[in-house]
Amino acid sequence: MKIPACIYEAHKKEFLCKIDSENKTVSACAKRTVLKSNQLVPGDKVLLEKSGDEYQIVDLIDRRNEIFRMIIRERKKRITAANCDLVIITTSVSKPLYKQGVIDRFTTRTFQWDVPAIVVFNKMDEFQNEFDIDFEMRRFENLGIECFEVSAIHPENPSRFGRGSFKDLQNKLVNTQAIILGQSGIGKSTLITSLSNREVILRSSEIGKSGKGTHSTTWADMIDCGTFRIIDSPGIRSFSLDDIFPEELIHFFPDLLPISLTCQFSNCRHESSSKGCAFYGGGTDPQTADIIESRLLSYRKIMEEISKTPAWRKKRNKSVGSNLCN
């Protein structure tokens, strides 16, 4: 008899699995044929077989989606997690300070992964108006990405800018399997602890003198928070988008895509010197012109970066799993 289960923790040869039909977590090894063709990651749905007291993973069920990145040097795809309903892109508003470029890279990836995302601004208890948070939120909302403003250490604080509160965030997560992503030290683990109403206490660590995190979470593991589950992940160190082909980038900027379709030439580079470029023809909606301008800057920056890698190096072939995010 095969027993359906979900992987919570993936180590080299041992996997912590939760059996779907029972509230029971078991440790299992994996059949060689399964390991040979796949790397197993948190969120994976598998089939187990029991012999005596031992469980073995005998099958991997097809993934709905993968949270991955490409190592183009090695031509490998590294998978961090699978079957996510939602990506919680998290940022801190102070120590470490908010960086728009980093969040734009995350949204580019979530559109590539084809997984819905939200943006959570954490550490709102320390916010001193260092940047125009209302503008930033409008930027993401224009992309269809809902924003939340919370304090993981003071979850009872009301939202300051009328956006999603801590409670709204908890409600948003009900019945989902989410993954939390963001730089080190922004409070991912602390936030999961609060979202679980402190039913699970995760390890977190102090911010160093440089204002950066210390990479206290080192593995991506699934955490049960009662009505939802979240995969905690290590802070991202470097975040290359080099595997993306220049011609596909615009599809990961769905706010710019419809405007770009009205440019005179289909290979338009959307620069002020580009002939017949819709972005410079005064054709954009005045209500969102400032947002579009700032997003276009981001698009051009990423475009410049990914154009440096020749297309033949971007080939996506081999796939390996990796529990490490960085």
Ligand X SMILES: Nc1nc2c(ncn2[C@@H]2O[C@H](COP(=O)(O)OP(=O)(O)OP(=O)(O)O)[C@@H](O)[C@H]2O)c(=O)[nH]1
Closer of 80 and 217 to Mg ion (Cβ): 217
User: 239 with 102: CB under 8 angstroms?
Assistant: yes
User: 200 with 192: CB under 8 angstroms?
Assistant: yes
Closer of 107 and 151 to ligand X (Cβ): 151
Token code pair at residue 1: 């008899």
Closer of 294 and 326 to ligand X (Cβ): 326
According to the binding rule CB under 5 A, does residue 194 interact with Mg ion? no
- Residue 197: other Cβ atoms inside 10 A: 11
Task: Write out the H or E segment, with its range, that includes residue 133.
Answer: helix 133-141
According to the binding rule CB under 5 A, does residue 80 interact with Mg ion? no
User: 297 with 56: CB under 8 angstroms?
Assistant: no
Closer of 186 and 263 to Zn ion (Cβ): 263
Token code pair at residue 258: 């419809």
Kindly state the smallest distance separating residue 300's Cβ from ligand X, in Å: 29
If contact means CB under 5 to 8 A according to the sort of partner, which of ligand X, Zn ion, Mg ion, none does residue 156 touch? Answer: none
Task: List interacting residues with ligand X (CB under 6 A).
Answer: 122-123, 125-126, 151-153, 184-190, 204-207, 213-217, 234-235
- Judged by CB under 5 A, the residue of 16, 41, 244, 268 near Zn ion is 268
According to the binding rule CB under 5 A, does residue 189 interact with Mg ion? yes
List 177's β-bridge partners, or say none: 229
Query: Could you give the CA distance from residue 285 to residue 291 in angstroms, rounded to a whole number?
Result: 10
DSSP letter, residue 98: P
Query: Could you give the CA distance from residue 104 to residue 84 in angstroms, rounded to a whole number?
Result: 20
- Judged by CB under 5 A, the residue of 277, 302, 303, 325 near Zn ion is 277
CA-based nearest residue to 4, from 19, 16, 23: 19
If contact means CB under 5 to 8 A according to the sort of partner, which of ligand X, Zn ion, Mg ion, none does residue 270 touch? Answer: Zn ion
Kindly state the smallest distance separating residue 38's Cβ from ligand X, in Å: 26
Write out the residues near Mg ion by the rule CB under 5 A.
188-189, 217
Write out the residues near Zn ion by the rule CB under 5 A.
263, 268, 270, 277
